[in-house]
């Protein structure tokens, strides 16, 4: 079928997944090269598609009478951008995995799930209607559940997987309701009522309003925004390449991207403010927890929540431009940082505590790439992160002065906080190791496999050069047919304020962590620490919610049980009564005669009186 | 003379059942598999012939009491063909997988084929007279399936089942007799009744509707008439549960579909019925959360899914109607898979309490992953048949009831979350794992594979069946 051309991108990965299942017993280690090869083929197809220019393709999946349900794909500008990011990062992740995951027995399971995960994200990237989107959406949720709970012997990993899937199911149901509600409102014979472009062209109704709120909830669950933040932090229980993939280009980016595509509808319905509100709350939460967290990967996870929240804020101001700029550059620096974290953990023998990690300077490649990543996240000129940050800061406009000031203040606070936590994250593992560990750590760092060092170098090149995107962005965005502003007027104020705050953060982090001025800081400021490290409160809120549902369920169960017992009891009662009556019918003539006489007397009495 | 496909299918199932009785136990499973495979082959051949033309209509008639116009009137259309196909797939899978309990194989296979006979008959029946006969055959067969093949508490469960079902049967009979006497020319013929139901007085229609609704609601089952189901499903043998939940509950659902498409008065009851059905779904989902026995968990999910199907039927529009049919297909196949998996798990570990069974994936990988895939099917993940059903059902429900039509999805949300909880507790976490006392036989894996194949086939290529629909 020629109209399926675009789906070709996902085919190699699905095929690789199949191979991984079939190869189980005999050639376990060959699986990784099959997967890597498939991902490179996908990348080549994606690049070819990019050169062909935008095109929409549609095929009827099934139909009921005249009503057809289509799978529609597009390679419009935004979609192509996401597809290239995903297709580009996938081979790097797979390369990194070769060095990272050494257990032979788990190879096929790992690559099966990873291939489907990557394929799902590519399908998501090219989807132009809700059906294609929903297929990808659910596959992303399921595979991420499996990958987060990949270490099946770890209770924490399994619990994290369950937390993720439970949160994601809420989003899935919201999404399903939204898309079917839209269909039942706008569907007509022959039209592809799931198509985004079609929906954008329709008049707004109450049903559309409800559906779009549900889509926003679904996007918040996928992108781990308040109040659905916690699954993403727990997801760090998965293997590190999974985290790198999950946080850079797949899964969590899906929510932001979907909102970016559907932004004209939100603008029409005046719903943009919800992204600003929830974005600001999530960004502050993420930054606070990242400052207080000790787990080397969870710091980065909270940082991702914050980055995504910044994108939502930009979208809330109608600036697809700013959101997408951060979207692109964040993919590279976050993948890089996760790979660094994985390497540091590997060298420190899977130590997860930031303060238990040492000696990251022993490996020069690791050191340089990590520093580039951290500087980019903080937003230092001319690394790509800088452009992302100022694009977000400059998006704030159009609200009453008070609100603008508040949001702007929040954004500046986040600039400072993110600089502080990322340099904390950088400086602490750089410390000199204790004497008894020096030799061991040097060996570990020097013997890190090449496959774990080459992908970060490539990513670092993108991080350094990625700032160029800022200058291409107007060209890229010109192809996006949206009412939202295409250009961004970057104010000088943003640039200076941002740079100054980042440098302050750098200085503070250097004083506190590299120079060790922090000794006893958390003990002295317990209240501050508790306020910053508030993930426990959110988890308690989840517990409260689930136990409320459980209480209702228990009440219903008691009702069900006693109703059943009552009905069974009634039945037993009938049996008892019949047992009593049956005793009369015992075949003895004298009993019958007595009965006959009593009856006769009764009859006579009745008729006589 | 056209090839008499329905009559032949009925004959094959009946003859297989009788042959199993006569021949040695060694052949019983072979005959059951061959019989149901032959029927499946015939149905698939019919599909292959009729799909290109887009219409499927087979009618056969074997009259026997001409005075009352009663006979073996059989017909198949897109709806009944789908249901017959589902029943045959489930019967084949049950026969092929074999009984994990390995007890009384001859009786089990015989009952499977008798039940296949009843199921084919009920879905193909063109008049209410044989509809009722096949209904009772199915109920009685499953009574024996529970009563003689079930586990420890089987007598209590089977008596409970038969009392509820006999109550339903008597209601059904009453309804059928009422219809017979109030149609202009006394008739059992469903098509004729559908054409002339408008001439039945409104008051009588109401009585008929209520009486028959109760009958079908017991079978479906619907709150507050569902109490037989958890016990029956828990105590029945694995094959019994597969047939019970996969096919028997569809008798009621199909009956309700007939009822709603037959009586014009049904429109008046649509909203109360939809409310009751949605409530039933959410209610059952909440009760599921308190269960520890995994088989009981699966049993309660049946009530949730059947509630959702009834919402679709009550929507009274094409999407609802075909969504309900597709939902029955998807649910029949998926739930049979789930019961087979749980039965095998019980067989392997000797226990099916989620607090006791741990780490299934370490000892029985295919069982654990089949359970996971079955969960995807129940929760309606795309590419499984359940997704197509959900799409059609909820489009229909929301066209009829607005956004309130989506409320039964809360039930699906709860059982989805709870099933992942079960998977987490018993299946995927391997830090401690129960000792296995048996191995999984190859035949059980074949059973998983067959059901999974059809679950994904009808999820990926829905036009195989929806291509037959003419609106």
- Which ipTM value was assigned to this complex? 0.91
As a whole number of angstroms, the distance between CA A477 and CA A258 comes to: 16
A372 burial via Cβ count (<10 Å: 0-12, 13-18, 19+)? buried
How many C-beta atoms lie closer than 10 Å to residue B342's C-beta?
24
Chain A CB contacts of B431 below 8 Å: 153-155
Identify which of A64, A158, A210 has the shortest CB distance to residue B466.
A64
CB contact under 8 A, B391 and A180: yes
Identify which of B318, B420, B421 has the shortest CB distance to residue A64.
B318
Which pLDDT score, from 0 to 100, does residue A484 have?
45
- Which residue of chain A has the CA closest to B326? A64
Chain B CB contacts of A152 below 8 Å: 361-362, 428-430
Size of interface A-B (CB pairs under 8 A): 121
CB contact under 8 A, A184 and B286: no
Cα angle A113, B331, A164 (rounded to 5 degrees) comes to 35
Which pLDDT score, from 0 to 100, does residue B114 have?
92
Chain B CB contacts of A187 below 8 Å: 395
**Which tokens in the block code for residue B369?**
């992953």
Give the residues across from B127 on adjacent strands. Answer: B189
Mean pLDDT of A29-56: 84
Confidence of residue A453 (pLDDT cuts 50, 70, 90): confident
As a whole number of angstroms, the distance between CA A202 and CA A211 comes to: 14
As a whole number of angstroms, the distance between CA A606 and CA A258 comes to: 86
pLDDT at A25 over 70: no
Among the listed residues B74, B401, B123, B293, the one whose alpha carbon sits nearest the alpha carbon of residue A184: B401
As a whole number of angstroms, the distance between CA A151 and CA A257 comes to: 30
The 10s digit of each residue's pLDDT in B74-98 is 888 889 999 999 999 999 999 988 8
Q: List, in sequence order, the alpha helices (H) in A149-239.
A: 155-186, 196-200, 206-222, 230-234
A515 burial via Cβ count (<10 Å: 0-12, 13-18, 19+)? exposed
CB contact under 8 A, A134 and B417: no
Which pLDDT score, from 0 to 100, does residue B113 have?
92
Chain A CB contacts of B413 below 8 Å: 169-170, 173
CB contact under 8 A, B395 and A563: no
The b/e string for A188-221 (b: 16+ C-beta within 10 A; e otherwise) is eeeebbbbbbbbbeeeeeebbebbbbbbbbbbbb
Give the residues across from B65 on adjacent strands. Answer: B70
Which pLDDT score, from 0 to 100, does residue A110 have?
86
Identify which of B290, B376, B417 has the shortest CB distance to residue A166.
B417
Identify which of B376, B402, B428 has the shortest CB distance to residue A152.
B428
Identify which of A63, A162, A564 has the shortest CB distance to residue B420.
A162
For residue B334, the distance in angstroms to the closest alpha carbon of chain A comes to 18
- Which residue of chain A has the CA closest to B458? A62
**Which tokens in the block code for residue A40?**
């490179």
User: Best residue in B406, B423, B458 to probe A by mutation, most A CBs within 10 Å?
Assistant: B406
Instruction: Write down the number of H helices and E strands in chain B.
Output: 20, 2
For B72-86, give the DSSP string.
Answer: EEEEE-HHHHHHHHH
Mean pLDDT of A500-506: 80
For residue B301, the distance in angstroms to the closest alpha carbon of chain A comes to 14
As a whole number of angstroms, the distance between CA A45 and CA A114 comes to: 19
Identify which of A142, A207, A567 has the shortest CB distance to residue B381.
A142
CB contact under 8 A, B376 and A183: no
- Which residue of chain B has the CA closest to A141? B381
CB contact under 8 A, A181 and B376: no
Task: Name the residue with tokens 């029946």.
Answer: B125
Chain B CB contacts of A61 below 8 Å: 462-463
Chain A CB contacts of B381 below 8 Å: 138-139, 142
The 10s digit of each residue's pLDDT in B344-379 is 998 888 888 888 888 888 888 889 999 999 999 999
Chain B CB contacts of A135 below 8 Å: 382-383
CB contact under 8 A, A162 and B424: yes
Which pLDDT score, from 0 to 100, does residue A490 have?
63
Are B384 and B376 spatial neighbours (Cβ–Cβ below 8 Å)? Answer: yes
Residues 6+ away with beta carbon under 8 Å from B210: none
Residues 6+ away with beta carbon under 8 Å from A415: A379, A389, A393, A497, A498, A501, A502, A505
Among the listed residues B127, B321, B231, B399, the one whose alpha carbon sits nearest the alpha carbon of residue A561: B231
Mean pLDDT of B262-290: 91
How many C-beta atoms lie closer than 10 Å to residue A542's C-beta?
16
CB contact under 8 A, A176 and B394: yes
- Which residue of chain A has the CA closest to B418? A166
CB contact under 8 A, B406 and A181: yes
What does each C-alpha distance from A115 to A94, A124, B33 come to in angstroms? 9, 14, 37
For residue A71, the distance in angstroms to the closest alpha carbon of chain B comes to 12
Determine which of A214-223, B63-72, B331-340 has the lowest per-residue pLDDT on average.
B63-72
Instruction: Write down the number of H helices and E strands in chain A.
Output: 25, 2
pLDDT at A483 over 50: no
Among the listed residues A461, A335, A455, the one whose alpha carbon sits nearest the alpha carbon of residue A92: A455
As a whole number of angstroms, the distance between CA B216 and CA B314 comes to: 14
Are A327 and A393 spatial neighbours (Cβ–Cβ below 8 Å)? Answer: no
As a whole number of angstroms, the distance between CA B42 and CA B2 comes to: 14
Identify which of A63, A134, A158 has the shortest CB distance to residue B429.
A158
Confidence of residue A534 (pLDDT cuts 50, 70, 90): confident
For residue A180, the distance in angstroms to the closest alpha carbon of chain B comes to 5
Determine which of A159-163, A569-573, B101-105 has the lowest per-residue pLDDT on average.
B101-105
pLDDT at A514 over 80: no
User: Best residue in B289, B303, B323, B470 to probe A by mutation, most A CBs within 10 Å?
Assistant: B289
As a whole number of angstroms, the distance between CA B134 and CA B339 comes to: 24
Chain A CB contacts of B322 below 8 Å: 64
- Top mean pLDDT of A103-112, B19-28, B191-200, B442-451 is at B442-451
Chain A CB contacts of B361 below 8 Å: 152
Give the residues across from A56 on adjacent strands. Answer: A74
pLDDT at A1 over 50: no
User: Best residue in B378, B395, B419 to probe A by mutation, most A CBs within 10 Å?
Assistant: B395
Chain B CB contacts of A162 below 8 Å: 420-421, 423-424
B243 burial via Cβ count (<10 Å: 0-12, 13-18, 19+)? buried
Among the listed residues A180, A175, A172, A178, the one whose alpha carbon sits nearest the alpha carbon of residue A67: A180
For residue B7, the distance in angstroms to the closest alpha carbon of chain A comes to 29
The 10s digit of each residue's pLDDT in A291-321 is 888 888 888 888 899 999 999 998 888 888 8
**Which tokens in the block code for residue B303?**
């009530």
What does each C-alpha distance from B142 to A564, B102, B167, B294 come to in angstroms? 22, 18, 16, 21
For residue B192, the distance in angstroms to the closest alpha carbon of chain A comes to 25
Which pLDDT score, from 0 to 100, does residue A488 have?
57
CB contact under 8 A, A64 and B163: no
Chain A CB contacts of B160 below 8 Å: 568
Q: List, in sequence order, the alpha helices (H) in A226-360.
A: 230-234, 240-248, 252-268, 273-292, 296-316, 320-347
pTM assigned to the model: 0.91
Distance between alpha carbon A407 and the CA centroid of its chain, in Å?
Answer: 24
Mean pLDDT of B68-75: 81
CB contact under 8 A, B382 and A135: yes
Identify which of B283, B430, B466 has the shortest CB distance to residue A556.
B283
The DSSP code for A59 is E
For residue A273, the distance in angstroms to the closest alpha carbon of chain B comes to 24
**Which tokens in the block code for residue B345?**
């798990």
Which pLDDT score, from 0 to 100, does residue A474 have?
65
3-state secondary structure A431-455: CCCCHHHHHHHHHHHHCCCHHHCHH
The 10s digit of each residue's pLDDT in A144-200 is 999 998 888 888 888 888 888 989 999 999 999 999 988 888 877 777 888 888 888
Give me the sign of the Cα torsion angle B42, B48, B51, B53: negative
Task: Name the residue with tokens 């228990």.
Answer: A554
User: Best residue in B283, B375, B382, B469 to probe A by mutation, most A CBs within 10 Å?
Assistant: B382
Determine which of A5-14, A42-51, A209-218, B22-31 has the lowest per-residue pLDDT on average.
A5-14
The 10s digit of each residue's pLDDT in B230-245 is 888 888 888 889 999 9
Are B190 and B219 spatial neighbours (Cβ–Cβ below 8 Å)? Answer: no
As a whole number of angstroms, the distance between CA B110 and CA B28 comes to: 8
A586 burial via Cβ count (<10 Å: 0-12, 13-18, 19+)? exposed
For residue B387, the distance in angstroms to the closest alpha carbon of chain A comes to 10
């Amino acid at each position: 079928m020629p109209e399926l051309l675009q789906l070709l991108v996902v085919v190699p990965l699905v095929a690789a997944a199949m191979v991984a299942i079939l190869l189980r017993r005999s050639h376990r280690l060959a699986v990784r090269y099959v997967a890597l090869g498939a991902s490179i083929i996908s990348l080549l197809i994606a690049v070819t598609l990019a050169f062909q220019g935008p095109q929409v393709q549609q095929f009827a999946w099934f139909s009921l009478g005249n009503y057809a349900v289509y799978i529609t794909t597009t390679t419009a500008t935004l979609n192509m951008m996401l597809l290239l990011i995903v297709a580009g990062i996938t081979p790097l992740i797979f390369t990194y995995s070769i060095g990272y995951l050494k257990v032979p027995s788990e190879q096929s399971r790992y690559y099966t799930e990873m291939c489907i995960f990557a394929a799902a994200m590519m399908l998501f990237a090219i989807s132009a209607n809700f059906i294609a989107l929903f297929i990808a959406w659910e596959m992303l949720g399921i595979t991420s559940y499996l990958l987060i709970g990949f270490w099946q012997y770890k209770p924490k990993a399994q619990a994290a997987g369950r937390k993720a899937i439970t949160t994601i199911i809420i989003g899935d149901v919201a999404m399903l309701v939204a898309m079917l509600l839209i269909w039942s409102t706008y569907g007509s014979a022959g039209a592809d009522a799931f198509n985004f472009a079609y929906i954008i062209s329709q008049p707004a109704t109450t049903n559309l309003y409800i559906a779009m709120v549900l889509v926003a909830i679904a996007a918040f669950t996928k992108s781990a925004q308040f109040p659905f933040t916690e699954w993403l932090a727990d997801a760090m229980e998965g293997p590190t390449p999974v985290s790198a993939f999950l946080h850079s280009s797949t899964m969590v980016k899906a929510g932001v991207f979907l909102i970016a595509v559907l932004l004209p509808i939100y603008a029409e319905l005046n719903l943009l403010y919800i992204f600003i509100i929830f974005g600001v709350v999530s960004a502050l939460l993420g930054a606070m927890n990242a400052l207080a967290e000790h787990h080397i990967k969870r710091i980065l996870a909270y940082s991702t929540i914050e980055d995504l929240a910044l994108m939502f804020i930009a979208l809330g101001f109608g600036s697809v431009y700013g959101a997408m700029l951060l979207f692109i550059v964040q993919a590279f620096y976050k993948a890089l940082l996760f790979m660094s974290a994985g390497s540091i953990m590997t060298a420190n023998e899977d130590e997860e505590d930031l303060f238990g990690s040492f000696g990251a300077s022993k490996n020069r490649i690791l050191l340089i790439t990590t520093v580039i990543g951290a500087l980019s996240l903080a937003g230092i000129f001319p690394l790509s992160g800088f452009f992302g940050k100022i694009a977000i800061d400059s998006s704030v406009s159009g609200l009453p002065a008070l609100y603008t000031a508040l949001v702007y203040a929040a954004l500046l606070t986040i600039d400072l906080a993110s600089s502080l936590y990322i340099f904390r994250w950088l400086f602490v593992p750089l410390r000199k190791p204790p004497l008894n560990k020096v030799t061991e750590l040097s060996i570990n760092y020097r013997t890190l496999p090449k496959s774990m060092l080459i992908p970060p170098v490539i990513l670092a090149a993108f991080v350094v050069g990625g700032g160029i995107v800022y200058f291409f962005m107007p060209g890229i965005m010109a192809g996006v047919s949206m009412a939202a502003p295409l250009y961004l007027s970057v104010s000088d104020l943003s640039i200076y304020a941002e740079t100054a705050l980042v440098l302050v953060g750098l200085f503070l982090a250097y004083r506190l962590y590299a120079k060790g001025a922090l000794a006893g800081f958390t003990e002295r400021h317990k209240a501050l620490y508790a306020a910053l490290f508030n993930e426990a409160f959110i988890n308690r809120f989840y517990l409260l919610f689930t136990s409320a549902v459980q209480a209702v369920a228990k009440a219903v169960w008691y009702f069900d049980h006693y109703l059943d017992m009552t009905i069974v009891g009634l039945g037993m009662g009938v049996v008892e009564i019949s047992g009593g009556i049956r005793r009369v019918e015992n075949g003895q003539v004298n009993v019958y005669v007595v009965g006959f006489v009593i009856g006769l007397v009764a009859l006579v009495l009745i008729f006589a009186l | 003379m056209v090839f008499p496909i329905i009559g032949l299918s009925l004959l094959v199932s009946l003859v297989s059942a009788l042959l199993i009785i006569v021949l040695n136990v060694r052949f019983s499973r072979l005959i059951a598999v061959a019989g149901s495979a032959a029927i499946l082959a015939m149905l698939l051949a019919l599909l292959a012939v009729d799909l290109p033309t887009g219409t499927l209509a087979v009618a056969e008639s074997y009259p026997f009491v001409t005075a009352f116009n009663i006979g073996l009137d059989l017909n198949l259309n897109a709806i009944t063909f789908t249901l017959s196909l589902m029943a045959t797939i489930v019967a084949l899978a049950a026969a092929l997988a074999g009984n994990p309990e390995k007890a009384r194989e001859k009786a089990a296979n015989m009952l499977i084929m008798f039940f296949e006979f009843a199921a084919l008959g009920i879905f193909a029946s063109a008049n209410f007279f044989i509809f009722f006969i096949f209904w009772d055959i199915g109920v009685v067969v499953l009574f024996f399936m529970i009563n003689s093949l079930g586990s420890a508490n089987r007598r209590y469960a089977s008596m409970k089942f038969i009392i509820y079902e006999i109550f339903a049967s008597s209601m059904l009979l009453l309804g059928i007799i009422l219809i017979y006497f109030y149609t202009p020319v006394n008739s059992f013929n469903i098509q004729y009744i559908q054409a002339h139901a408008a001439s039945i007085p409104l008051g009588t229609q109401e009585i008929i509707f209520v009486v028959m609704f109760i009958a079908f609601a017991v079978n479906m089952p619907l709150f507050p008439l569902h109490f037989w189901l958890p016990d029956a499903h828990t105590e029945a043998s694995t094959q019994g549960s597969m047939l019970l939940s996969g096919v028997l509950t569809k008798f009621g659902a199909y009956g309700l579909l007939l009822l709603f498409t037959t009586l014009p008065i049904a429109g008046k009851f649509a909203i109360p019925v939809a409310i009751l059905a949605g409530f039933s779904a959410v209610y059952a989902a909440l009760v599921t959360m308190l269960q520890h026995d995994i088989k009981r968990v699966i049993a309660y999910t049946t009530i949730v899914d059947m509630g959702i199907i009834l919402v679709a039927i009550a929507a009274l529009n094409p999407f609802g109607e075909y969504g309900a049919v597709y939902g029955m297909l998807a649910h029949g196949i998926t739930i049979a898979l789930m019961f087979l998996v749980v039965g095998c798990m019980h067989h392997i570990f000797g226990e099916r309490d989620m607090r006791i069974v741990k780490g299934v994936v370490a000892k029985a990988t295919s069982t654990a992953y089949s359970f996971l895939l079955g969960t995807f099917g129940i929760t309606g993940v795309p590419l499984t048949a359940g997704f197509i059903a959900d799409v059609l059902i909820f489009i229909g429900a929301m066209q009829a009831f607005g956004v309130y039509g989506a409320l039964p999805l809360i039930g699906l949300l709860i059982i989805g979350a709870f099933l992942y909880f079960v998977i987490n507790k018993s299946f995927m976490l391997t830090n401690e794992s129960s000792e296995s006392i048996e191995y999984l036989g190859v035949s059980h894996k074949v059973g998983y594979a067959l059901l999974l194949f059809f679950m994904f086939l009808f999820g990926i290529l829905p036009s195989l069946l929806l291509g037959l629909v003419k609106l």
